[in-house]
Amino acid sequence: MKKIEAIIRKSKFDLVKTALHNVEVNFFSYWDVTGVGNEKEGHVYRGISYSTSEIQRRFLSIVVNDAFVKSTVEAIIKSAATDKVGDGKIFITPIEDAYRIRTGENGGDSLN
């Protein structure tokens, strides 16, 4: 099992959510975050100056069986990309074990 953490543009969330459902990733957690990035210069949009490092982001936390890692990452990249600075990041870490509280199932079976 792997934990996939993705930081994406908040404006891309609905597209990412649909893309994840299309690859059968139907459960994940998310929350709104603000972070600081590498971009130092500001941008002007409709006459308002803003810094791309301070754009609102959405943080997704997804745990999948190993067989779903590649399709999950590809779905996020394809649906979240704008080809501009600030599209976000994806991090993958191993998960030692998982338990479904209701049934006591553990391992990969607890994810289905």
Q: What is the pLDDT of residue 91?
A: 98
CA angle 59, 64, 68 (to 5 degrees): 110
Model pLDDT, residue 112: 80
Q: What is residue 18's predicted lDDT score, i.e. its pLDDT?
A: 98
Q: Name the one residue in this structure whose structure tokens are 């030692």.
A: 96
Instruction: Write the CB contacts of 9 (distance below 8 Å, at least 6 apart in sequence).
Output: 55, 57, 58, 80, 82, 86, 87, 88
Structure tokens at 54: 């301070």
d(CA 71, CA 80): 14
DSSP conformation class of 106: B
Give the chain's domain count: 1
Q: Tokens 């994840």 belong to which residue?
A: 20
Rounded to the nearest 10 degrees, the angle between the axes of helix 13-22 and helix 69-80 is: 150
How confident is the model over 58-67, as pLDDT tens digits?
999 999 999 9
The confidence score (pLDDT) of residue 85 equals 80
List, run by run, the mean pLDDT of 10-residue segments along the chain (112 residues): 96 97 96 78 66 78 96 98 90 96 92 84
Domain region containing 77: 2-111
pLDDT the model gives residue 102: 95
CATH of the domain at 40: 3.30.70.120
